[in-house]
């Protein structure tokens, strides 16, 4: 059976610094990525978004992400705690988590992979490199790598568990 | 970029039983300009033996721990899922980047691979041109963009704040 055309991959960014959100948004746009893009500004909000709690209750408005770009240093609940929480829930096993941080500490890198991050990116210092990074990220994660099925009960007609996008 | 300065030295381990596919992947990597050391194991058991450094793989200079494992799913003796499960059970390999590379497009396989802890999932392209493009993108992201873990380090920083730098980056003298 030919699966229906998969909906576009949804990207969720968890980042507390407005400046970095602005920079990442611009880099994403510059890299030609026009996928649905959502932002949460701390770890608790990120978990609330994934659980569809509170203001995120409407899944049509706040669809489950295929790709989570996760900062490590955030208030309330840091990126490691978010990673641990997400990976403890089987239903989120298919959410691909890419850490995006200013930390270059090898222990942070190891810890993130150990906790189940799919990949780890260090925020570049200048904007040009940020754009290049986002372009490379898109080329691999949005074009080459196959997504797992993300359950979107009220999504655009996607039958969970039956379709995948590439 | 802030991470590895010598991404071309990162070791790639390919676990693939089909001789034809090994040739194809080698050629695709070559076409993509990826000159990294590529080592090949032909089934799941061999893959684990390599990672654990047992038997003929005991010499780490000859068979270094890989930076990336490209893992086929359908293999004799022990399939890719079993390998993934075994790898993620061992603390020593919890940070190893495992990219599934298979001909399966089954969503069940994709989901299961991610659940078992695969870092990514790639479907083998049918055309050689696409294979080379895939390997180019893989190399650009995983070897030149993404920060690499260090498998031979303890997971927790010893005592005080660590001063280590990322794998491959040169400490300032």
Tell me what pLDDT residue A147 has: 83
Report pLDDT for A151: 57
Comparing A52-66, B95-109, B118-132, B155-169, which segment has the lowest mean pLDDT? B155-169
Burial of B64 (0-12, 13-18, 19+ CB in 10 A): middle
- Residue identified by tokens 């994660």 is A141
At B59-102, the pLDDT tens digits run: 999 999 999 999 999 999 999 999 999 999 999 999 999 999 99
Query: Does residue B134 or residue A160 have the better pLDDT?
Result: B134
Judged by a CB distance cut-off of 8 A, whether residue B6 touches chain A is no
Nearest to B114 among A148, A162, A166 (CB): A148
pLDDT band for position B4 (cuts 50, 70, 90): very low
User: Among partner residues A113, A136, A166, which is closest to B95 by beta-carbon distance?
Assistant: A113
Chain B, residues 107-126, CB within 8 A of chain A, namely: 107-108, 110-111, 114-115, 117, 119-123
Question: How many Å apart are CA B105 and CA A89, to the nearest integer?
Answer: 24
Q: Which of residues 135-164 of B touch A (CB under 8 A)?
A: 137-138, 140-142, 144-150, 153, 155-157, 162, 164
Answer whether residue B6 shows pLDDT above 90.
Answer: no
Residues in chain A, pLDDT under 50: 1-5, 153-166
pLDDT at B159: 59
Go through chain A and tell me how many residues it has: 166
pLDDT for A70 = 98
How much is the average pLDDT of B32-46? 96
Candidates B111, B120, B150; nearest CB to A94: B111
pLDDT for B8 equals 80
How confident is residue B153, by pLDDT bands cut at 50, 70 and 90? confident
Three-class HEC string of chain B = CCCCCCHHHCCEEEECCCHHHHHHHHHHHHHCCCCCCEEEECCHHHHHHHHHCCHHHCCCCCCCCCCEEEECCCCCCCCHHHHHHHHHHCHHHCCCEEEEEECCCCHHHHHHHHHCCCCEEEECCCCHHHHHHHHHHHHHHHHCCCCCCCCCCCCCCCCCCCCCCCCCCCCCC
pLDDT, residue B158, reads 65
What is the percentage of chain B residues whose pLDDT exceeds 90? 79
């Amino acid at each position: 059976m030919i699966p229906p055309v998969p909906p576009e991959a949804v990207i969720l960014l968890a980042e507390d610094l407005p400046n970095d959100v602005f920079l990442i948004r611009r880099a994403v746009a510059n890299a030609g990525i026009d996928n649905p893009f959502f932002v949460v500004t701390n770890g608790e909000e990120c978990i609330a978004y994934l659980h569809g709690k509170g203001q995120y209750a409407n899944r049509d408005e706040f669809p489950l992400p295929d790709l989570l770009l996760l900062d490590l240093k955030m208030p309330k609940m840091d990126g490691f705690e978010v990673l641990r929480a997400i990976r403890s829930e089987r239903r989120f096993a298919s959410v691909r988590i890419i850490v995006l941080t200013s930390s270059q500490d090898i222990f942070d890198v190891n810890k993130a992979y150990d906790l189940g991050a799919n990949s780890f990116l260090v925020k570049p210092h200048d904007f040009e490199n940020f754009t290049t990074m986002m372009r490379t990220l898109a080329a691999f994660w949005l074009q080459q790598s196959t997504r797992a099925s993300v359950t979107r009960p009220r999504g655009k007609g996607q039958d969970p568990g039956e379709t995948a996008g590439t | 970029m802030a991470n590895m300065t010598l991404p071309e030295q990162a070791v790639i381990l390919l676990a693939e039983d089909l001789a034809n596919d090994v040739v194809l992947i080698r050629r695709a990597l070559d076409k993509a300009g990826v000159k990294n050391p590529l080592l090949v194991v032909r089934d799941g058991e061999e893959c684990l033996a390599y990672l654990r450094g047992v038997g003929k793989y005991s010499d780490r200079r000859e068979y270094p721990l890989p930076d990336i494992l490209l893992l086929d799913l359908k293999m004799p003796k022990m399939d890719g899922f079993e390998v993934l499960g075994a790898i993620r059970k061992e603390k020593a390999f919890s940070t190893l980047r495992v990219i599934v590379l298979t001909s399966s497009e089954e969503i069940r396989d994709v989901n299961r691979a991610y659940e078992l802890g695969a870092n990514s999932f790639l479907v083998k392209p049918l055309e050689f041109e696409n294979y080379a493009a895939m390997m180019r993108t893989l190399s650009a992201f995983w070897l030149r963009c993404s920060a690499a873990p260090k498998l031979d380090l303890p997971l927790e920083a010893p005592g005080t704040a660590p001063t280590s730098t990322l794998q491959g980056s040169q400490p300032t003298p």
